[in-house]
Structure 1
Amino acid sequence: MSTGPAGHVARSTIRPYSETLDVTRGGAPLRTFLRTADGVAIDSVYEPREVVYDSSRADFREPGSGVDLVAGEGSDSGAGGGQRAPAFVVAHGFTGHVDRPHVRRVARVLARYGAVVTFSFRGHGASGGRSTVGDREVLDLAAAVGWARELGHTRVATVGFSMGGSVVLRHAALEEPDGGRVDAVVSVSAPARWFYRGTAPMRRLHWLVTRPSGRLVGRYGLRTRIHHRQWDPVPLSPVEAVPRIAPTPLLIVHGDQDGYFPVDHPRMLAAAAGEGGELWLEAGMGHAENAAPDGLLRRIGDWAVTRAG
């Protein structure tokens, strides 16, 4: 394993950013391991913004939207940059990882609106460490946000699903997170409070996390290595974190058919956010990235482009 630029631990030889990408016309994705503040290697992928050339004009437009993507004075200079485009940092749900089909689908849709960083949380996929199920994962997200900043993006939006949804809330609530504050936050299918066992899927998840036999299933069946220690101290809950996010724009998205967390969870989060948050209750939608249709992801992309600017 070799050491990449800026202290990254690379899984293969990766050329420096400036040699790899044309910052105005996109380029090849980058894949590397990032080091978190506590030393965990996080498998991460950077994908430039998807742009097309409009032969009728000397600029770029987001496919099908008419949104001007041309990089110019005062614009983001990162890969696939554009005057109003943020970079999206996507935080997957528990037992997901960067190569899961639905994580890749989320990245493909959001790449129409900005560059995208995806990563595997600790204990998931090829990342090191063990999952703490939403506690120290805030350090993983901070490393990914910091990478996006390092690559030249001046506006960053975080988009989290389920466990990742709780992590983006806690990360945004920190006064000075590593990588700096983000410019917009989208939390999809997140819990409002910890230790919820009110649905059958959540009771199964607690068995997976708290029992040795469950952790074996997670390790060998789900490629998820779960830490055996309980939280000490218990981290700030999502509903406690939400009031601290303002003035950063916040969007809470939840399906009314979510089998893990019923709609009282997003309503609690929205109530805690007050005027600082926006709630979308999606009719017929289930849980997290697997259930999020492309149309919803496009609406999230539009929202982030508008709010993060």
Structure 2
Amino acid sequence: MISLRDAYRILRAAYVRFAKDDGVAMAGYIAFSSLLAIFPFLIFSAALVGLLVGPEQNEQAVNTLFRVAPEHIARTLEPVLHEVLVDRGQGVLTLSILVAIFLASNAVDAFRVAFDRAYDVAKPRGFLLRRLISLAFVFLGAAVAAIMAVSVVFTPLLFQLAERWLDIALPASMGALVFILGVTVFVLFLIALHRILPSHATKGRRIWPGIMVSLILWLFGAVAFSIYLSLVPTYAVTYGTLTGVMVLAMFFYLTGVAIIFGAEVNAVLKLTNATEQPT
């Protein structure tokens, strides 16, 4: 069991490394890359949902996908995605998918750069291999987003069948289920980042301290930012019509900070274990 003093020492060392590795700048790079990629990526994911459930339930599945996102984020993304899917032609959709693959792979590579810095990687993978891994993450992310949407669409039907066969009353609200689903997907995303993305990844149970730190920071940051937006009305006045974009960029920035700091925690623990091993 780690003591509070040791925990403070580890977090302080992680913060020092975070500052030394330009964690703030890297989080900004991740936020910018993610902001460029998010709209075409969601269009790509929505098209994949359409292949799984058909055009009739595509819009419903896309709407459920936004239940996982924070309210302010969903209000920014949903109208744009709905306009492209419903009001535009197939040519726009095809172009968006191609743009999504390129931009989203750049966003994934931004995480790779941050992780390589955190883990002190001197020689990264070759360019072609890095691109292939980034593309694999893009397709994996689109598949996960589609599965999440389809799962939420068909969950009420499964609840009804369970009530009929088991003769029990299940809670009507799905808020807790959606929250658990979102957190689970984020944790799986963090595991994939730590295990696959860095050129020299930390394996096994050693990745879990950083993952838990990132998860706590992410949840705390999302809740605190939502409270701030609800209590400070001048935010909308300051940015005007760009409020939605700024909220989205800030959310990506906070996510980047949380993920990079978690990687720095793992790096500190790795160095600590290395120095404590007998020679």
TM-score by length of 2: 0.26
Larger helix fraction of residues: 2
Structure number with bigger Rg = 2
- The answer to which structure, 1 or 2, has the higher relative contact order (CA under 8 A, 6+ apart) is 2
